[in-house]
Amino acid sequence: MGAARSHDHDHDHHHDHAHGVAPNADKKYLTIALLLLLGFMAIEVAVGIAARSLALISDAGHMLTDVGSIGLSLVAMRLATRPASGSYTYGFKRVEILSAQANGVTLVLLSIWFIVEAIRRLLHPPLVDGALVGGIAVVGIGVNLLAVWAMSKANRQSLNVEGSFQHILTDLYAFIATAIAGGIIWWTGWNRVDSIAALIVAGLMLKAGIGLVRESGRVFLEAAPRGLDPAAIAEAIRAVPAVTRLDDLHVWEVTSGMPALSAHIHVQQQIDCHEVRRVVESMLHERFNITHTTLQTDHDGNGNTTSLACVFAASEEHHHA
């Protein structure tokens, strides 16, 4: 993870703060949303088949991903609280990102299937019971509003929970489109509008899914978290008095809300490298809210005497701590 270079005379300091991650989302609210959606999904599947409405069935398919998403979120939250042990030095915190990526991929695949099916039905539209479709969709709007309210109370800083929230929010928009389509079919008898509504639902699903895959992919590829500019961080570190050079700067995100940084910092001869390291840590915390840092400090130049003194000072510091 971008650990800085190691020499016999170097000083490696691993500074493990509390991770600064916001508390896990309230499981009670996620469970409420899960039960609401699970109950209504069963009703919607039955009515969708009876009314021959692809819009309703696509809504039900999206709702199935909602249920799976929230269930996966609850499992991921439980796993993420397990302490680090053995070879899993960060614990299971990235399980939440795996959950978010699984939600995104599911949305993308389902949206593609609904787009293909909607195009087929546009060419050969079946008869659709508009009144039944509209009535169920209106009830679905109410159920999803309750689920959105419950999820909005949870901690959306987590990409995992945000993924579940986006699922439900997209489903709310989908029900609105389906309700409008049902009304038009009931009023005009134009059955193709059901397929148009399904295309709208699929488009919303595709947009939300691509967003989740992209954001979770940034975490897996260890890109700098959004809002943190490595160039600005490097400039701020170099501006600290006595810092002469900065090497091997890496900024990444372990999981949502847990940015991490490692760097190799060179300081002027005869300067207390540990004091400089403490100043840098404090600055990173205050200016960039980065609390999980691994900083290697080393005296500038090739003189081993001063660098060894730095190592001995580190030993004394840890001995008295």
Alpha carbon distance 64, 45 (integer Å): 10
Locus of tokens 């302490």: 83
- What sign has the CA pseudo-torsion 229, 231, 232, 233? positive
Are residues 45 and 15 part of one domain? no
pLDDT at 3: 40
Are residues 229 and 144 part of one domain? no
pLDDT at 159: 67
Residue 4 lies in a domain: no
Query: CB under 8 Å to 320, separation ≥6 — which residues?
Result: none
Are residues 183 and 71 part of one domain? yes
Are residues 150 and 57 part of one domain? yes
- Reported pTM: 0.66
**How does DSSP classify residue 22?**
P
Q: How is 87-98 classified by DSSP, letter by letter?
A: TBTTTTTTHHHH
Are residues 157 and 183 part of one domain? yes
CATH number at residue 43: 1.20.1510.10
Query: CB under 8 Å to 99, separation ≥6 — which residues?
Result: 69, 72, 73, 75, 76, 160, 163
Are residues 159 and 291 part of one domain? no
Last residue of a domain, one of 157, 187, 220: 220
Alpha carbon distance 55, 78 (integer Å): 35
Residue 230 lies in a domain: yes
Last residue of a domain, one of 220, 253, 270: 220
Q: Yes or no: say if 263 and 12 are a contact pair by the CB < 8 Å rule.
A: no
Are residues 288 and 163 part of one domain? no
Residue 5 lies in a domain: no
Residue 96 lies in a domain: yes
Are residues 304 and 195 part of one domain? no
Are residues 146 and 74 part of one domain? yes
pLDDT at 89: 67
pLDDT at 6: 39
CATH number at residue 293: 3.30.70.1350
Angle (CA) 134-136-138 rounded to 5° is 70
Are residues 137 and 95 part of one domain? yes
Q: Yes or no: say if 56 and 4 are a contact pair by the CB < 8 Å rule.
A: no
Residue 3 lies in a domain: no
Q: Yes or no: say if 103 and 65 are a contact pair by the CB < 8 Å rule.
A: yes
Please give the tally of structural domains in the chain: 2
Closest Cα partner for 166 from 125, 216, 117, 121? 216
Last residue of a domain, one of 178, 203, 220: 220
Q: Which domain holds residue 162?
A: 27-220
Are residues 153 and 96 part of one domain? yes
Alpha carbon distance 313, 293 (integer Å): 21
Are residues 214 and 253 part of one domain? no
pLDDT tens for the 321 residues of the chain, in order: 444 333 334 444 444 333 333 344 457 778 888 888 888 888 878 887 877 777 777 777 767 777 877 777 777 777 767 776 667 766 677 777 887 788 788 888 888 988 988 898 888 887 777 888 888 888 888 888 888 888 777 766 666 677 777 777 877 887 888 888 888 888 888 888 888 888 888 888 888 889 888 988 888 888 888 888 999 999 999 999 889 999 999 999 887 778 899 999 999 988 888 899 999 999 999 999 998 898 998 887 654 434 434 443 443 444 444
Residue 300 lies in a domain: yes
Locus of tokens 């205050």: 286
Alpha carbon distance 238, 246 (integer Å): 7
Q: Where are the alpha helices (DSSP H) in 81-227?
A: 95-123, 130-152, 159-188, 192-220
Strand order in the sheet with 259-267: 11-16, 292-299, 259-267, 243-253
Residue 205 lies in a domain: yes
Query: CB under 8 Å to 57, separation ≥6 — which residues?
Result: 45, 48, 49
Residue 2 lies in a domain: no
